[in-house]
Structure 1
């Protein structure tokens, strides 16, 4: 059985790319298709020695560094991949990958990280963040998003089966595509996370510094708590803003390599997370290191963090993305931090191991392959 794996773009090794790595481990003979491949040295292990097919976007000026500007061309580009020689097609999709064209004698499984966020319920957030709320450019962007929604909805009929990365995304899939989806949580390398039962007197926040991650909100909240130390890790468009509003109790480190970040997770009193994420791997990694999580109570965090009403809690939630709500959550956490033990945090993180991902994904794939009368090519 010939297998093709399709992912939108490979320009950094983030959460969705880690999912692709695990799928490649299941199907080591698979060929990889991606619109743009520009992984930097040190992050390109997953493509070494593997056949990688890119689209015409790969050769357009600026596509490798500013790939999102080429979104209007991506539906056309992904439809140009000729996958007719493959029995099993697996798309890893948060934008257009699920739109590949397959035939009736092929099995297409689509792992959905999210329906196209900027085309659906987060359209207004993205327009505001991009300064496109009014004027001709705004009208053009809205027209483009309108046509992207039509294309996205049409291509939702292509996969035989959809797999969501969380129950939260499964609900979004049902809302947008009117389809059921299995839930398979993304893989977390729990065993690689250094664990410690000893916590130090600082809070940790880490993320890509884009507006929806709300890192500036976390910094502003801790600026109102001068007796609480906060360490901030990450880079991105809002790094300059975060540095500007940080007060003397806040240390902004910028980007750190994985080992350095995990060392902070191993020692932090708690990990603070203010984004509404589809899943959110960092809170799971923090728990694997023994750190409890203070998270915004929406999205995937509700599935990965065990709240204080449990007899084995691993964190607590705040209800609104405001400074006041986060300050109140920190106050509630400090009333009895001993409730959130490092051992319980580590045990909870084990629900999301790489082995659990592979077993769940393979079971779904094998069921569809058997239904189609094919023989599994998954690594045992």
Structure 2
């Protein structure tokens, strides 16, 4: 039986994050598959240098490449215009509108769903009050309420056209059912553990936050908590939230900006604990911290409770407030941690495990799809 012709689809490639790590591993699994995306900034993704990236018309408008999220009303259109007739299988990596890609009856569409579109469903009200578009915020606040009803309807309908869903966590599996009324299979996203597992853990007297510093990451909660306690916190990563929080931070909080992979590894290997205050669909960086042997102090909602085992691999706090984080830190300070127990949990999310599970799922879905086609 001939191998299926596969295409990968991703919402945009403009800023590295967890979803882009999933896409990279899919590219490693299916290196011959072209990657379709709305916008692409190659300087941000050297790991995709050998990939065939096919962009939409949005990529030909330079300024729009960097603020394309301002236009969700239009983001479905580029995907709908992509001709997928030459492919037997499409795998969309979707936290936005990538699943809108249209396929015909001879093409299997598997959607790896990082989350139902947050700005349509779970985060609409919050995002409306915490827009990241600066000068364009007033325009966005006028436009979004006019379109949210129709956008939700379009998004729901697009989800009905997907043949089969994969969820990145049990948390997202529940949301897919709630918002799209679709069943899904959980396959956890990959983390790169080999190098992290080999790091020599030598704990220093600081905590660390690493990642894109945008409003939804709730850096404000950490800043308030560490201002109160006076414990040392190192913040690595860039984003508009740095400008808001840095002036509020006391001398015990250090802002490092963007760091290299080597610097990140060193920070994780030496940190007393990794601070994770957002509600994330899953959260890859906390697992990278665990692979380095570093326990995690996390908000106990979203995907974090699926790997942060309270008292074993870290500490969970119930409310997304400075007071709750302060309580968790005080409890954390009085505990001891077994590096190997923490690392063993992280191994469950190794990229090799992802390749095995995702590969088996894709093969099974394709066999079932082929069987149905033959019986038509």
What interval of TM-score do these two structures reach, taking the shorter chain for normalisation? Answer: over 0.9
Partner of residue 74, structure 2: 73
Deviates more, 1:293-302 or 1:134-143: 134-143
SS class of match (1:222): helix
1:137–1:286 Cα change, 3 Å:
closer
Q: What is the distance in 2 between the residues matched to 1:348 and 1:137?
A: 42
Q: Could you tell me how far apart the structure 1 residues matched to 2:275 and 2:130 are?
A: 23
Q: Is the 8 A contact 1:12 1:39 kept in 2?
A: no
* Aligned residue among 200, 204, 209 for 2:208: 204
2:212, 2:238 within 8 Å by CA — same for their partners in 1?
Answer: yes
Tell me which of 238, 257, 280 is aligned to 2:260.
Answer: 257
How far apart, CA to CA, are the structure 2 residues paired with 1:61 and 1:268?
39
Match of 1:377 in 2: none
TM-score (norm 2): 0.93
Shift of 1:166: 0.5
Q: Contact 1:91–1:111 (CA<8 Å) still a contact in 2?
A: yes
Relative to structure 1, the CA distance from residue 363 to residue 60 in structure 2 (aligned partners, 3 Å threshold; closer, same or farther) is: same
Distance 1:28 1:138 in 2: 41
Find the counterpart in structure 1 of residue 351 from structure 2. 354
Does the Cα contact within 8 Å between 1:6 and 1:33 map onto a contact in 2?
Answer: yes
Which structure would you say has the larger RCO, counting Cα contacts within 8 Å and 6 or more residues apart? 1
Q: Paired residue for 1:109?
A: 110
Mapping 1:276-315, distance limit 5 Å: 276-308=279-311, 313-315=312-314
2: CA distance between counterparts of 1:97 and 1:199? Answer: 42
**1: CA distance, partners of 2:132 / 2:162:** 35
Per the TM alignment, residue 95 of structure 1 is displaced from its structure 2 partner at its CA by 0.6
Alpha-carbon spacing, 1:210–1:360, altered in 2? closer, same or farther (3 Å): same
Q: Which residue number corresponds to residue 368 of structure 1?
A: 365
For 2:12, what is the secondary structure of its paired residue?
strand
Give the structure-1-normalised TM-score: 0.92
Matched, 1:44 2:56: no
Q: Which residue of 2 aligns with 1:332?
A: 331
2:245 is equivalent to residue 242 of structure 1: yes
Q: Which range moves more in the overlay, 239-248 or 172-181?
A: 239-248
Q: Matched residues in 2 for 1:292 and 1:349: separation?
A: 11
Q: Distance in 2 between matches of 1:268 and 1:139?
A: 44
Q: Distance in 1 between matches of 2:132 and 2:217?
A: 18
The Cα of 1:139 is off from its aligned counterpart by 4.7
Gaps of 5+ in 1: 375-380
SS of the aligned residue for 1:282 comes to helix
CA contact (8 A) 1:207 1:215 kept: no
d(CA) in 2 for partners of 1:144 and 1:131? 19
Output the CA distance in 2 between the equivalents of 1:282 and 1:136: 33
Matched, 1:172 2:169: no
Which one has a larger percent helix, Structure 1 or Structure 2?
A: 2
From 2, 11, 15, give the equivalent of 1:12.
Answer: 15
- The more displaced of 78-87 and 143-152 is 143-152
Query: Contact 2:70 / 2:140 at 8 angstroms: preserved in 1?
Result: no
Per-residue CA deviation, residues 76-100 of structure 1 (Å, 9 max, x unaligned), is: 1110000011001100101101111
2:290 & 2:249 partners in 1: Cα distance? 26
Name the structure 1 match of 2:6.
Answer: 3
Stretches of 4+ aligned residues off by more than 6 angstroms:
none
**Alignment map for 1:147-166 (pairs within 5 Å):** 147-166=150-169
- Please report how far the alpha carbon of residue 157 of structure 1 lies from its aligned counterpart in structure 2 after TM superposition: 1.2
Q: Which runs of 5+ in 2 are unaligned?
A: 372-376
CA RMSD of aligned residues (A): 1.8
SS at match of 1:33: strand
Q: Please report how far the alpha carbon of residue 271 of structure 1 lies from its aligned counterpart in structure 2 after TM superposition.
A: 0.6
Deviations 1:232-268 (A, max 9, x none): 1111001122221111222221211121011011011
- 1:119-174: CA deviations, max 9, x gaps? 01210010111299x99863531122222111100011122110011000000000
Alignment length (residue pairs): 364
- 2:374 aligned residue: none
Match of 1:140 in 2: 143
